[in-house]
Structure 1
């Protein structure tokens, strides 16, 4: 039974990536029209928009902030005959010339240099995949309340977030199963200039083996924050990674202020980021608030679990499960695992009617995925 007043409290933030398109639904070729607005920026390319909410005290507040930014962006874009492409997969592309690298200059010119490295390693098309990043931190009052042994606060906080990180990595597949929303893609993603809409083998291309992944699997050391940041640093020193930003895993531990490995090592963990949520084209803002509420409940459930050792073998399995969950017909055992986790969450939140309502909403998705998979199997047998 949850007794803490601060259990459901925390800080929340959203980052929504989208693309700017012209009246023909093609990538806009105009410069980023929002200047140096830190809340409406771009990620890899000049025609990509990233709406970044301020830190909020609830998910409702974060979604309201996203709605305000969305309206502001749409108002400016409409004057230029442009709109927002609210799909995770990009529109038709004739060639990579339509994907200009974000034009960062002056003090930010290093950002452009980094993106040029990404272009050389991964190509431009990969960088067009867009999604929702969900940022969360526990309230300090809650962390101090559960620090029963009066451990050094920063040490306790870092250990808790690292434990949560490991559990979220192992269970990232579940959020993919529940938020995958991009089964269709334009044929030009396979070959520039090719026409036609394709429904392939994936429910989420960006989370699949075709999506955002490094050329190798970065094995990390999770024994402590020091060993964790040190293991990332080793990949950078050897040249496997250009920087910590190139670590393409679905979960990130992030510091307060400037997001750098040095800052994380020096100041500790401030919040955790979930990066796997697809844009939902049926939701006006690209996100169903119930999916965010479920992600929060999953976080709260996972911190109730004992610590575990995320061995190299388990890291490989976690990534494999994540990619498997992005299939239109994921492995039956994975669906069963997802159902089992949700069943345990129902027990954990048995006294909270709102939480149970959200969990039931997500559980129905797993049931639907099972029915869909069974129908595919039956059709193939016939």
Structure 2
């Protein structure tokens, strides 16, 4: 905490949304933007993905997202379209409403990959939209922790340790930011209509959301070992590519997210569990991103975690359970989930006690947790 470099790093946001027409139906017009590094598509043609440049703070990242958002809204306004600012999709007449992103030319392989995903998962799953938060520590800070000769190998092992901790605690930011309990009945059945308040606070993070048909078990002895454990799933056909590793947390290489690019080492860690927040113009509360940064910092200072296959399976189960609307009976390590969250937030507040801004962010999250506790016991004192 005394190291001023500890708070520095590289930040980025990816935001997925859908385009809808004046009737709030999925737009059937072609993607209105030339794909760039900052404005593109993900799975379908009527989806827009905004990708900020690498920034030096959460606030700088939010400012860039705001500029990209304004560009998109101004363009869509001219054609009578708007952005659908919910993680759950609007009414779907049929899967014909969901055209696969029409990547062409040198990007044609992207379309073929998405057609493979369509066959394996169906199109509806691919409409869920959210926020991905990307972060890496300042290398100057990491150099202060390591004095040996092979910094690159040590840095990779640092991110592997961090990945294990963040994966095991991925349920916590989900618990604090889930924002999609209501969905359209057409998500379940063609032609059906009407709002449904289901049993999930976040459908996309729940058991019916973005997951592989199995829990990928990864290895962490070294970066090479980690990469090889992913490649084995690709080689045996369980995954089409590393991009199909549907877990709430990812390690990313520099450049394109291709497994071979890890030869250059780990670039950053990606947290993928944030719902679009419909109460925020940009779909995300900056305080929640600041908290995600603090959580990463906090977990980076915890002891190494023995992330056994059993714990990897449990981490997925914990994450899915945290997406339930009713948390009665949900536990983490045998402790009721809301109490466990409170314990971690208390520990984080103590860890950051000398930093007023950090304490303020943690208390902001504590207030949200207090509301969930009050709702559970029906008493607010």
Distance in 2 separating the partners of 1:219 and 1:370: 34
Question: Match of 2:120, SS?
Answer: helix
Q: Does 1:53 align with 2:52?
A: yes
Q: 2:302 aligns with which of 305, 313, 327?
A: 305
Normalising to structure 1: TM-score of the pair? 0.96
Distance in 2 separating the partners of 1:360 and 1:175: 14
Deviation at 1:370, TM superposition (A): 2.1
Question: Match of 1:14, SS?
Answer: strand
Deviation at 1:375, TM superposition (A): 4.1
Could you say which residue in structure 2 is the equivalent of 1:277? 274
Distance in 2 separating the partners of 1:189 and 1:36: 28
Correspondence list, 1:303-382, <5 A: 303-330=300-327, 331=330, 333-375=336-378
Distance in 1 separating the partners of 2:70 and 2:298: 34
Question: Match of 1:205, SS?
Answer: coil
Could you say which residue in structure 1 is the equivalent of 2:89? 90
Contact 2:35 2:41 in 1 (8 A): no
Could you say which residue in structure 2 is the equivalent of 1:142? 141
Q: Encode CA deviations 1:169-208: one digit per residue, 9 max, x unaligned.
A: 1100001101100000000001011010000100000000
Could you say which residue in structure 2 is the equivalent of 1:217? 215
Question: Match of 1:367, SS?
Answer: helix
Distance in 2 separating the partners of 1:288 and 1:139: 24
Contact 2:20 2:83 in 1 (8 A): yes
Could you say which residue in structure 2 is the equivalent of 1:102? 101
Deviation at 1:10, TM superposition (A): 0.4
Distance in 2 separating the partners of 1:40 and 1:16: 10
Structure 1 unpaired stretches of 5+: 377-382
Q: 1:188 aligns with which of 172, 179, 186?
A: 186
Q: Encode CA deviations 1:201-227: one digit per residue, 9 max, x unaligned.
A: 000000000100001111111121111
Could you say which residue in structure 1 is the equivalent of 2:168? 170
323 and 151 in structure 1: CA distance in 2 versus 1, 3 angstrom threshold: farther
Q: Encode CA deviations 1:52-102: one digit per residue, 9 max, x unaligned.
A: 000001110000000000000000000010000000000000100000000
Question: Match of 2:5, SS?
Answer: coil
Structure 2 unpaired stretches of 5+: none
RMSD, aligned CA: 1.1
Deviation at 1:337, TM superposition (A): 1.4
Question: Match of 1:16, SS?
Answer: strand
Distance in 2 separating the partners of 1:329 and 1:375: 13
Contact 1:329 1:372 in 2 (8 A): no
Deviation at 1:146, TM superposition (A): 1.3
